Amino acid sequence: MGFGPSIQCHYKYMKLEKNDLMEKIISLAKRRGFIFPGSEIYGGLANSWDYGPLGVELKNNIKKLWWKMFVQQRDDIVGLDSDIIMNPKVWEASGHVGNFTDPLVECKKCHGRFREDQIGGTCPNCSGKAFTETKQFNMMFRTHLGPVEEDDNVVYLRPETAQGMFVDFAQVLESSRKKIPFGIAQIGKVFRNEITPGNFVFRTREFEQMEIEYFIHPSDWEKYFDHWLEQQKAWLAAVGIDQARIKFVEIPDTDRAHYSKRSIDTEFVYPFGQKELYGLAYRTDFDLSSHEKKSGKNLKYKDPVTGESYLPHVIEPTWGLTRTVLAVLLSAYSESEARSGKEDAVHETEVTLRLPKELAPIKIAILPLSRKDELIGPAQEIYHNLQKNWMCQYDETASIGKRYRRQDEIGTPYCVTVDFETANDKSVTVRDRDTMKQDRVKIVELVEYFREKLEPPRT
Ligand code: GAP
């Protein structure tokens, strides 16, 4: 059973300097293939980020968990996947053409353009203090439908997924036979021509949202507002976001979006400051009534029991998906002093991503102790078998210690080691990322073993 130099982690976490942590996350994300700078061979494109092999797994796992919690496991929510480019009247009715703006100023000295409310009166480029008059800059990306670039063909890339759910409200209601209260959920790309994007994937011009529009009787809004705040808290726990860095902030009248009567933001203390992670808004009947007026279509709901006919009101919990990736990585990152091999060996810093198992990009790594044929054969067979159920990685290069560290760094919860005893006892050693405990498990029982570990029934 014994193999190679063992790694003993002293779970003594080092204190990470704030900006250090951001740099470490960005470097790890690039090195291990979570997130790369986009179009890099052409010098990149400002604030464009591509999700690599591990990043796309992490992002997909977040989406899957969200869908499971809020669509699959609930009777009152159905999904939707609406188009990114919609009839431009949608954005006139929603108020985005008129109101989706940020205050833009230009520095008179260096001509840099900035969001007025983010610079505190001083140019971040040249420290200049003189600016042009504030202009309202609309953040929607415009393009043209078809081959002729004229005003009649102007369309927008959606700046939120929400409007698809309002515009399709009547069709979803009719086809799904849901009754109020019920919700529509959607995950997808959105686009905003942000004046000052930055801080890695925190603020980008292309990003993804996971949103729910929950349709209710107007008299119930407080009850469902509270319900969705609780659901957002449950989500934070499920994805392992550090509760100590979370603040719930009531947004005052003056700062609320044009459609909201009450908003609570979930803020996260990032290394660059406390900023928004998620939002929760009481959108009233603002959207449905605007679309009813603009389209001339009746969007009222008739209660089958009371006969009352009314425009439903809406509670909207919204989650930035790409911002979730950042908060999850920041929360999961940990360093510990480790000692490989002999007592007097050099203490090295080891990185572990303590991701919830459901989010880990790779669930199991299969590591033959040596590259001898007698180990490689069974190790590959185990790999191909487990791969049918879970994302696995097979790795036979470098020392076993190094291979464990590679897996810890990307958050793989389990490593399976095939050793010289395997041929005799038809068993392997399974090492747990968090407890470092090692179990000897029969090869024929491995699938069942991992099913219990990785897919415990949700309550
Ligand atoms: N439908 C409501 C809505 O779009 P929002 O607060 O403007 O509300 C929702 O956006 C979420 O989208 C935010 O809480 C944040 O997580 C994410 N988000 C907003 N702007 C972003 C950007 N430029 N880059 C990345 N994520 C962003």
Q: How far apart are CA 127 and CA 94, in angstroms?
A: 38
pLDDT tens readout for residues 30-51 = 999 999 999 999 999 999 999 9
Distance 162 CA to ligand 1 centre (A): 11
User: Helix, strand or coil for residue 431?
Assistant: strand
Q: Which residues contact 333 (CB under 8 A, 6 or more apart)?
A: 16, 21, 24, 25, 28, 351, 353, 354
Q: Name the least confident of 53-67, 109-123, 280-294, 323-337.
A: 109-123
Amino acid identity, position 125: N
Q: Is 139 exposed, middle or buried (0-12, 13-18, 19+ CB in 10 A)?
A: middle
Distance 12 CA to ligand 1 centre (A): 36
CA atoms within 13 Å, Cβ hemisphere of 295: 20
Distance 320 CA to ligand 1 centre (A): 5
Say yes or no: CB of residue 320 within 6 Å of ligand 1.
yes
Say yes or no: CB of residue 204 within 6 Å of ligand 1.
yes
Q: What's the pTM? A: 0.93
Distance 83 CA to ligand 1 centre (A): 18
User: Helix, strand or coil for residue 302?
Assistant: strand
Residue closest via CA to ligand 1's atom 15 equals 320
| DSSP characters over 191-235 | E---SS-BTTTTB-SEEEEEEEEEEE-GGGHHHHHHHHHHHHHHH
Task: Report the mean per-residue pLDDT for the chain.
Answer: 92
Say yes or no: CB of residue 162 within 6 Å of ligand 1.
yes
Of these ranges, 55-64, 93-102, 130-139, 341-350, the one predicted with the greatest mean pLDDT is 55-64
DSSP state for residue 177 in the 8-state scheme:
T
pLDDT tens readout for residues 197-239 = 999 999 999 999 999 999 999 999 999 999 999 999 999 999 9
pLDDT band of residue 337 (cuts 50, 70, 90) is: confident
Check pLDDT > 80 for residue 177.
yes
Say yes or no: CB of residue 194 within 6 Å of ligand 1.
yes
Spell out where 285-374 has E strands.
Answer: 301-302, 309-310, 313-320, 333-340, 347-353, 364-368
pLDDT band of residue 17 (cuts 50, 70, 90) is: low
| Sign of the dihedral defined by the CA atoms of residues 393, 398, 399, 404, in that order | negative
pLDDT recorded at residue 421? 96
Q: How far apart are CA 112 and CA 279, in angstroms?
A: 30
First CA to last CA across the chain, in angstroms? 36
> Which tokens is 425 given?
């006892």
Residue whose tokens read 């203090």:
129
pLDDT recorded at residue 344? 56
- How remote is the C-alpha of 182 from its chain's centroid? 24
